[in-house]
Structure 1
Amino acid sequence: MQRLKLFIPLAVFAALALLFWQGLKLDPNAMPSALIDRPVPPFHLVTLEDGSQKVDRSVFKGHVSLLNVWATWCVSCRVEHPYLNTLAEQGVRIVGLNYKDDVDQARKWLAEFHNPYVLSIVDADGRLGLDLGVFGAPETYVVDREGIIRFKHVGVVDERVWLRDLRPLIQQLENQ
């Protein structure tokens, strides 16, 4: 019995090593969302482009879209922005969500770095972002023709993310 007690630390170590080994296989960027397969939350907000036109979630009806959360204070958004312009030039429909940002700065940003968005929604107080479960900018959602969120990506959208995650899903949704 005394000898058996000597193996307890070894058994505990082996169990912890197995758990840590399994943890290495997990994607650290995977951020599950409770909104997958649910509609975009209701909102009535103004657009950045003119500041007076109010829009609601009906902007997603009839179109497969990317909903991209961005802000001028977001360093990663600056990295992502040129690729979003490339996607827009290829015909990808992108709706922007300008998150907790200064409206004048955001307009200057789009004038300087070009505007990939069909429209950009102003979420000055972050309420829509909160309803979406935004962790931080940038975040990108794939929204189907019915306004249902089908995928969430946290972080920069680049060619790798586009080819691996977003494009196949968008193509599938457009063919339905």
Structure 2
Amino acid sequence: MSAPGSRSARARWLPLIVFGAILSLLAAGVWLSRDPDRNALPSPLIGKLAPAFVLPVLGEPERLVSGDDLRGAPYLLNVWGSWCPGCREEHAVIEAFARTQRLPVIGFNWKDEPEDATRWLAQFGNPYALVLADYDGRAAIDWGIYGAPETFLVDGDGIIVWKHVGPMTDAVVRDQLLRQLDRLDIR
């Protein structure tokens, strides 16, 4: 049996304990958000064959390209849309990387109007060797895409070896992508 008044003492401390727990969770969230690799979300597709797809080429709706058509050489798949502020933010980085010609950069235009996407590329430049158009977003579901921009590195066997969520930066290219390319001996 508990001493008289001990229950009321615990009841008085309960709000302070709850407040302390919430404050601890918030502090942990702030501390974790300082991680420079916070956008490197684990993907269940890493190490697995890229999802099958057949998509039209932007500006050439009668030309269809499948995942099998891309197999045989590694490529970087960059998910973008003309409506996406982060895509505009990363565009110069994608262009600079594409100029290295280390591997083809394939554009994956997601949930965009063809006219808007074409106009956007005309305005900002087209770094892509090929632009696939996923107008309804169905192919993106299989890739696990939930936002733009996202970028995938796919090896010559069609295996997804790396994924980056969010805008590509010079630091991401230098510290993550180029290390992956070196690991795969892609020169």
Question: After TM superposition, is the score higher than 0.5?
Answer: yes
State the match for 1:70 in structure 2: 80
TM-score, normalization by structure 2: 0.79
Shift of 1:49: 3.8
Counting only pairs closer than 5 Å after superposition, residues 139-158 of structure 1 correspond to structure 2 as: 139-158=150-169
SS at match of 2:72: coil
Give the corresponding residue for 2:54: 44
Match of 1:117 in 2: 128
**1:99 corresponds to 2:105:** no
d(CA) in 2 for partners of 1:39, 1:158: 26
**Equivalent in 39, 47, 52 of residue 29 of structure 1:** 39
* TM-score normalised over the length of structure 1: 0.84
Whole-Å separation in 2 of the counterparts to 1:48 and 1:79: 21
Q: Distance in 2 between matches of 1:33 and 1:68?
A: 16
Secondary structure of the structure 1 residue equivalent to 2:112 = coil
Root-mean-square deviation (CA, aligned residues, Å) is: 2.5
Deviation at 1:58, TM superposition (A): 2.0
Select which of 84, 89, 94 maps to 1:79.
Answer: 89
Residue 31 of structure 1, CA deviation? 2.0
| Structure-to-structure mapping, 1:2-21, within 5 angstroms | none
1-structure distance, mates of 2:15, 2:60:
66
> How far does residue 171 in structure 1 lie from its aligned partner after superposition?
2.1
> Whole-Å Cα distance in 1 between the matches of residues 64 and 111 of structure 2?
17
The corresponding residue for 1:126 is 137
CA contact (8 A) 1:39 1:149 kept: yes
Contact 2:56–2:133 (8 Å) recurs in 1: yes
Segments of 5+ residues of structure 1 without an aligned counterpart are none
- The question of whether the paired residues in 2 share the 8 Å contact of 1:60 and 1:144 is answered with no
Deviations 1:86-115 (A, max 9, x none): 111111421111000001111111122111
Work out whether residues 99 and 126 of structure 1, in 8 Å CA contact, stay in contact via their aligned partners in 2.
yes
Larger Rg: 2
Relative to structure 1, is the Cα distance of residues 11 and 78 closer, same or farther in structure 2, using a 3 angstrom cutoff?
A: closer
SS in 1 for 2:122: helix
Instruction: Give CA-to-partner distance per residue, 1:9-68, whole Å, 9 cap, x none.
Output: 999999888776665554542322111111111111111142211010024312221110
Q: Is the 8 A contact 1:39 1:147 kept in 2?
A: yes
What is the identity percentage for the equivalent residue pairs of Structure 1 and Structure 2?
Answer: 39
- Secondary structure of 1:51's counterpart equals strand
Where does the alignment leave 5 or more consecutive residues of structure 2 unmatched? none
For residue 151 of structure 1, what is the amino acid of its counterpart? W
1-side partners of 2:90 and 2:69: how far apart?
23
Please say if 1:90 is aligned against 2:100. Answer: yes
